[in-house]
Amino acid sequence: MAEEEIELKCTIELMGKPKEAVIDSLKKILSNVEENGKKLEIKEEKYAEPKEVKDGFYSSFADFKIKGNVVDLFGFVMDYAPSSIEVLTTKDTKLSITDMQALLNDLSGRMNEMDQRLKIFSGQTILLSQQLEELKKKIEKK
């Protein structure tokens, strides 16, 4: 496994309601990152005050630094999709063929899973639209 540590500065954004839940949720996300069994260290967490976006929904973000090896950081990025990532370390990182293969297979697997979910969602949307049209026709007949 690639053991060289890399440090990133990241931002994760979140929207929700009520206002108080937004920061609590961001804190839980960062707590989960450190507790998920990977060797990742989070420090210098800063949370933005939630701002109302629309209809009682609030938006906020957390800026933080995260340190770990390439493989664990790759997993973090795939799991939490930070909106901003800045690499802070200057060392070159080397990956073994095994690590590169694992990362690419993980990426491919996650993309296939997202594709499958999108297809299911799309099919459900089409089905619901058809059912809605049928209900409209029945209502118009009455």
Q: What is the per-residue pLDDT across 69-123, written as a single tens digit (0 to 9) for each?
A: 887 888 888 888 888 888 888 667 777 788 778 877 888 888 888 888 889 988 8
Residues 85 and 107 in one domain: no
**Residue 17's domain spans which residues?**
5-93
Q: With cut-offs at 50, 70 and 90, classify the pLDDT of residue 36.
A: low
Please give the pLDDT value at position 47: 92
Residues 10 and 54 in one domain: yes
Residues 20 and 85 in one domain: yes
Residues 65 and 35 in one domain: yes
Please give the pLDDT value at position 1: 41
Residues 52 and 34 in one domain: yes
Structure tokens at 128: 């619901």
Residues 35 and 86 in one domain: yes
**Stated pTM of the model:** 0.67
Q: Total domain count for the chain?
A: 2
* pLDDT (average), residues 50-79: 87
Nearest to 80 by CA among 126, 29, 41: 29
Distance between CA atoms of 70 and 83, rounded to whole angstroms?
A: 18
Residues 25 and 13 in one domain: yes
Residues 15 and 84 in one domain: yes
Q: Are 10 and 85 in contact (CB under 8 A)?
A: yes
Residues 82 and 107 in one domain: no
Distance between CA atoms of 116 and 119, rounded to whole angstroms?
A: 5
Distance between CA atoms of 51 and 56, rounded to whole angstroms?
A: 10
Tell me: pLDDT of 2 over 60. Answer: no
Residues 54 and 123 in one domain: no
